[in-house]
Amino acid sequence: MTAHIAAVSTALPPAVEQTTLWEQHFRHVPHNSRLAGRIFNGAGVRQRHTVANPLEVDVSSYSTGERMRLYNEHARPLGHEAVTNALAAANLTAADVGQLTVVSCTGYTAPGLDVQLAASLDLAPDAQRLMIGHMGCYAALPGLATVTDFVALHRRPAVLLCLELTSLHVQPSTSDIQDVVSHALFGDAATALVVRPGAGPLEFLGTRAVTDASAADHLTWTVTDRGFRMTLSPRVPDVLGKHVRHAVETLLADHGLTVPDVRGWAVHPGGPRILDTVGQELGLPSDAMEPSRHVLRENGNCSSPTVLMVLDELLRGSALRQGDPVVAMAFGPGLTLYVTLLRATGQAADAPSELDASG
Residue 254 has φ and ψ, to the nearest 5°, of -60, -20
Helix axes 272-282, 290-299, angle to 10 degrees: 170
Q: How far apart are the first and last CA of the chain?
A: 15
Cα distances (Å, whole numbers) of residue 74 to 10, 189, 275: 15, 11, 31
Q: Decide: 53 and 187 in contact? Cβ < 8 Å.
A: no
Helix and strand numbers, DSSP H then E, in the chain: 11, 13
Active centre residues (catalytic):
137
The DSSP element (H or E) to which 100 belongs, if any, is strand 99-104
Are β-strands 188-197 and 3-11 bridged in parallel, bridged antiparallel, or unpaired? Answer: antiparallel
E strands present in 270-347: 325-332, 336-344
Give CA–CA dist 44/181, Å, rounded.
12
Cα distances (Å, whole numbers) of residue 126 to 98, 153, 177: 8, 16, 48
